[in-house]
Amino acid sequence: MALVSREPIHTSGSSTSRMARGFARVAAGVAALLVLSAALSAQGGDKAKVGEAVKADLARLADLERTWFEKNRTFTIDMRSLGFTPTSGATVTMSYASARSWAANATHPTLQPTTCVIVVSAPGGQAANDRPFCMESADAKQTVTQAPRQQPAAPVVKAESKPVAQAPAVNPSAPPGAAPKVAPKPTPQVVVNRRPGRRAVPAAQVPSTVVELPARAPSSGVALAGTRAAGGVADAGLTEAVTPSQFTERLGAMVASALEVSNAKMADVARDPYESTAEYQGRVAQAFAAFQRRETDFYARNTRTYVVSIPVKSVSYDADREVVGFAVDPIALPTARSFAAADGAKLSVACYTRPYFWCSPDAGMSYDGTDLWRISRAAARSADVLAAPMTLVAKFVVGRRDDARSPAVSLVSMELQAKGAAISRWDAAAR
Burial (Cβ within 10 Å: 0-12, 13-18, ≥19) of residue 61: buried
Taking residue 375's Cβ as centre, other Cβ atoms within 10 Å add up to 19
- Among residues 154, 111, 117, 110, the alpha carbon closest in space to that of 134 is found at 117
Query: What's the length of the chain?
Result: 431
- Predicted confidence at residue 150, as pLDDT, reads 40
Reduced 3-state DSSP string for 158-174: EEEEECCCCCCCCCCCC
- Among residues 275, 402, 279, the alpha carbon closest in space to that of 287 is found at 279
Percent over 70 (pLDDT), the chain: 65
d(CA 166, CA 154) in angstroms, rounded, equals: 37
- Predicted confidence at residue 217, as pLDDT, reads 45
pLDDT band at 292 (very low <50, low <70, confident <90, very high): confident
Indicate left, alpha or beta for 348 from its phi (over 0: left) and psi (-120 to 50: alpha). alpha
d(CA 150, CA 382) in angstroms, rounded, equals: 49
For residue 359, report the phi and psi dihedrals to the nearest 5 degrees: -110, 135
Strand partners, 103: 96, 119
- Predicted confidence at residue 164, as pLDDT, reads 43
Mean pLDDT, rounded, for 2-22: 54
Mean pLDDT, rounded, for 268-273: 89
- In this predicted structure, the answer to whether residue 384 has a pLDDT above a threshold of 50 is yes
- Predicted confidence at residue 40, as pLDDT, reads 54
d(CA 401, CA 320) in angstroms, rounded, equals: 42
Looking at residue 351, its amino acid is C
CB contact at 8 A, 207 and 274: no
d(CA 333, CA 251) in angstroms, rounded, equals: 7
Higher-confidence position of 185 and 368 = 368
Residue 217, classed as helix, strand or coil, is coil
d(CA 166, CA 151) in angstroms, rounded, equals: 45
d(CA 350, CA 229) in angstroms, rounded, equals: 11
- In this predicted structure, the answer to whether residue 311 has a pLDDT above a threshold of 90 is yes
d(CA 202, CA 431) in angstroms, rounded, equals: 18
- Predicted confidence at residue 429, as pLDDT, reads 84
Task: Mean pLDDT check: name the lowest of 125-139, 142-156, 247-261, 291-305.
Answer: 142-156
pLDDT band at 169 (very low <50, low <70, confident <90, very high): very low
What digits encode the pLDDT tens for the residues 137-151? Answer: 555 555 554 444 444
- Predicted confidence at residue 185, as pLDDT, reads 52
Give the list of residues 6+ apart from residue 403 with CB closer than 8 angstroms, or none: none
Give the list of residues 6+ apart from residue 110 with CB closer than 8 angstroms, or none: 46, 47, 50
Q: What is the DSSP string of 42-57?
A: HHHHHHHHHHHHHHHH
Q: Is the peptide bond before 330 cis (omega within 30 degrees of 0)?
A: no
- Predicted confidence at residue 12, as pLDDT, reads 46
Task: Mean pLDDT check: name the lowest of 37-46, 92-101, 112-121, 382-391.
Answer: 37-46
CB contact at 8 A, 49 and 99: no
For the chain, what is the mean pLDDT? Answer: 75
Mean pLDDT, rounded, for 80-106: 85
d(CA 63, CA 205) in angstroms, rounded, equals: 39
- In this predicted structure, the answer to whether residue 367 has a pLDDT above a threshold of 50 is yes
Task: Mean pLDDT check: name the lowest of 29-33, 56-60, 129-133.
Answer: 29-33
- In this predicted structure, the answer to whether residue 31 has a pLDDT above a threshold of 90 is no
Indicate left, alpha or beta for 295 from its phi (over 0: left) and psi (-120 to 50: alpha). alpha
pTM given for the model: 0.49
pLDDT band at 318 (very low <50, low <70, confident <90, very high): very high
What digits encode the pLDDT tens for the residues 60-79? Answer: 999 998 888 888 878 888 88
What digits encode the pLDDT tens for the residues 171-226? Answer: 544 455 455 454 555 554 544 444 444 444 444 443 333 333 343 445 455 555 56
Higher-confidence position of 46 and 360 = 360
Cα–Cα distances (Å) from 287 to 263, 270, 282, 294, in that order, read 17, 11, 9, 11
Mean pLDDT, rounded, for 23-35: 68
